[in-house]
Structure 1
Amino acid sequence: MSRSLAVVGAGPAGLAAAHALAGSGVAVTVFEKSRGVSGRAATRWRDAPGPDGEPFRWRFDHGAQYLSPDADSRAAGLVRSLGGVVDVEGAVWPFDDDGRLRPDRARAEPGLRWTWPDGMADLGRRLRDATPGLDLRNGARVTRLVREGGAWTVETDDGHAGTFDAVLLTPPAPQTAGLLRESDVGGADGEALARALGGAGYRSQFTVAWGITAPLDRPGAFYALVNADEHGGRGGGHDVAWLAFESDKPNRAPDGAHIVLAQMSDAWTQAHYDDAQADVVAAAAEAVADLVGPLPGPAWTDTQRWRYSLPDGAADADALEAAAAHGLFFAGDYTAGKGRVHLALEEGLAAADRVRAWAG
């Protein structure tokens, strides 16, 4: 007997699960509140002239910076099957909370670092296109779930959306908990599940990007800098959490131009969360100058504010797994306990295993 599954969220976890279930006898419908796919594996573009005055489509990854799976993992195998992946070259140097660069602490063997020439968002597009029979509904925000008679009714902000045998929830833990509290989940006990998700607290993060056509030197042979030396290896004492020369990736900037991309700390983000964009860019530029010196005047700038950027811990796995008896499943960075795209893929693949077992 065929079964039906509603997946909430078209990020890496949700789409990996849908891809793994293709041809399994489980019909998958994915609900995504935005117009695109891929979640925080996100890419923006900007049409603007390069140093020679010729038009160019600049690209930059304003969320996840690259994929870093173990070479023999399921996630790596999935990404290889999608094709088109390229390596991100260059060293990543740690820096202390006082802004001192520490190339001596860079990893000698950084492992895999993958992206696509068109950006990290290509992950979601390739998963979508490689999943036969996928019913993807963009612009559909799920507002409520109702469990009745052994089936799930999924309601969206534009009205009744359909009835399914099971549901897989992949949004960030706070959003998933909020949905459960608005839902009637029957014997699954939505309030208890919402509490189980509470262990996955999240850090917020501003991303700021500068497109630069003037000459630009960097104080060393690195691709990126990371504040990961202190606070138990996590960093966080500096206003900048991550600083990358995004233009080192292929197909990102015109010849002779640069994209500098900063991902700011949680404390800095909270302090500037409601500031005007120009003020955010100016304040971030001051913090960046502490690491690499003042930036030349940019041709363009951009910002992205991520409320739920990186989880600080994992949800209660045992409580979430018990909900499978009611046809309710969970996957995402909050089940992995760490904000990494390859881990979200692994969690999506593992959720597909659980769905297959439930479906018989």
Structure 2
Amino acid sequence: MNMKIAVIGAGISGLAAGRELVKAGHEVVVFEKSGGYGGRLATRYAGKGNEQKLDHGVPYFTATSDEFKELVAELTSKGILSTWSGTFVHRNESGEISEVTPDSEYYFAKEGMNSIGKYIGRNLDIRLNEKVGGLTHIGENRRKKKSWMLNFPTALTESADAVVISAPARQAYALLNTTIDEIETLKMVREIDEVEYESQFTLLTGYSGVQMPDWNALECDDDIIEWISNESTKRESGKNTLVIHTTSEFAKMNMNSDRQKVEDLIADRLITILGGWAGLPEWQQLHFWRYSRVKNPLPHDFMEIRGNDTPLALVGGYINGNTVESAYLSGLKLGKHWAEQFAD
């Protein structure tokens, strides 16, 4: 049977689920509250004329499972992915620098990490800047209506036979609570309520007339800065740019601070680590990731409710891991499972 399936959130897990379900012949509509998709596979256009592309979310990822390696091979064959070859270094608390050899290949998208989401979702009906405010279950008494109604702050609604929530756990929790008196979601709500996230700031900086470092990235043992990505090593459009990723502890302490103060604190530490030139960027931008990394992922591939004509599932980066790969596998496995369950 062909179904209309709503996916809430256009991160890689939701897009992976949607892609599998479209392959199986279902109608899929993806609702994304922001203006872009891919989640933390994000790219910012910055600098003069917004000509430079910087990955201000996930700087790279690795692949271990056969399923994810298959996606990596597909994206590589399409010219989307490339291996991030070069030098990676580590700075200890004493300021000593040593070279690090990665355990596996680092992959990045040559045109920006957001191009991955664009490719995976290319055959999906994706509606950006559409925030779902709640869910209403129509249920077995619906006659010819669909099982679910999605409610939007604009008072508009959209119906669907099934719903996939691929938003962060906190947002999924809020959506599930709008249905808690109508269907048996209490167990699911209690479980995802235990999920905790680390936050993070990223500072994007662009320079002119300086000699950039010869390393791809610098990992730091530091209270403020955790990782510095030399975007100049990824693509020509990222020339003379860095993305500085802070520690979660720093982000937690400063999440409500004045943003200029946050930028100044990061810049001061950047000077200590790299030298005075790093504190004189031509431009800089700050971004805050409230849901950067999950601390205690749930031990499932996905979660679902199937009783009383109420197909609803949760997928995402907080399920069975906290990596790009685990998020993709969560959506992929749910998509394949539902494609089989809802087959004619």
Common fold: TM-score over 0.5: yes
In 1, distance between residues paired with 2:92 and 2:190?
A: 36
* SS state at 2:303 partner: helix
Per-residue deviation at 1:45? 1.2
Matched, 1:252 2:237: yes
Match of 1:213 in 2: 208
Partner residue of 2:184 out of 176, 188, 193: 188
Instruction: Provide, for residues 113-149 of structure 1, a one-character-per-residue CA deviation record: whole Å limited to 9, x for no partner.
Output: 22222210111111122x2xx2222111111112222
Partner residue of 2:54 out of 53, 56, 60: 60
**2:47–2:283 contact (8 Å) kept in structure 1:** no
Matched, 1:306 2:300: no
TM-score (structure 2 length as normaliser): 0.88
Partner residue of 1:175 out of 171, 186, 195: 171
Q: In structure 2, what residue type is equivalent to 1:284?
A: I
Go from structure 1 to structure 2 and tell me whether the alpha carbon gap of 1:127 and 1:292 turns closer, same or farther (over 3 Å shift).
same
Match of 1:141 in 2: 131
**2:225–2:245 contact (8 Å) kept in structure 1:** yes
Match of 1:289 in 2: 271
Match of 1:356 in 2: 339
Instruction: Provide, for residues 52-72 of structure 1, a one-character-per-residue CA deviation record: whole Å limited to 9, x for no partner.
Output: xxx7811101101123213x6
Per-residue deviation at 1:185? 6.4
**1:212–1:296 contact (8 Å) kept in structure 2:** no
Partner residue of 1:346 out of 329, 332, 339: 329
Go from structure 1 to structure 2 and tell me whether the alpha carbon gap of 1:64 and 1:217 turns closer, same or farther (over 3 Å shift).
closer
**1:9–1:170 contact (8 Å) kept in structure 2:** yes
* SS state at 2:60 partner: coil
Per-residue deviation at 1:356? 1.7
Match of 1:20 in 2: 20
In 2, distance between residues paired with 1:202 and 1:174?
A: 9
**1:146–1:184 contact (8 Å) kept in structure 2:** no
Matched, 1:328 2:321: no
Match of 2:143 in 1: none
Q: In structure 1, what residue type is equivalent to 2:59?
A: Q
Per-residue deviation at 1:78? 2.2
Per-residue deviation at 1:35? 1.8
More divergent stretch after superposition (320-329 vs 197-206) = 320-329
Match of 2:116 in 1: 123
**1:38–1:121 contact (8 Å) kept in structure 2:** yes
Q: In structure 2, what residue type is equivalent to 1:167?
A: V
In 1, distance between residues paired with 2:5 and 2:50?
A: 42
Per-residue deviation at 1:47? 4.3
In 2, distance between residues paired with 1:147 and 1:98?
A: 58
Matched, 1:76 2:69: yes
In 1, distance between residues paired with 2:286 and 2:125?
A: 32
In 2, distance between residues paired with 1:99 and 1:196?
A: 42
TM-score (structure 1 length as normaliser): 0.84
More divergent stretch after superposition (305-314 vs 238-247) = 238-247
In 2, distance between residues paired with 1:300 and 1:203?
A: 27
Quote the RMSD (CA, aligned, Å).
2.3
* SS state at 2:40 partner: coil
Q: In structure 1, what residue type is equivalent to 2:305?
A: A
Per-residue deviation at 1:291? 2.5
Gap runs ≥5 in structure 1? 49-54, 228-234
Per-residue deviation at 1:308? 0.8
Per-residue deviation at 1:160? 3.6
In 1, distance between residues paired with 2:270 and 2:164?
A: 40
Aligned-residue identity in percent: 25
In 1, distance between residues paired with 2:96 and 2:338?
A: 48
Go from structure 1 to structure 2 and tell me whether the alpha carbon gap of 1:321 and 1:65 turns closer, same or farther (over 3 Å shift).
same
Matched, 1:265 2:261: no
Instruction: Provide, for residues 257-282 of structure 1, a one-character-per-residue CA deviation record: whole Å limited to 9, x for no partner.
Output: x1121110112112222333332222
Match of 2:144 in 1: none
**1:98–1:238 contact (8 Å) kept in structure 2:** no
Match of 1:232 in 2: none
**1:312–1:337 contact (8 Å) kept in structure 2:** no
* SS state at 1:334 partner: coil
Paired residue total: 331
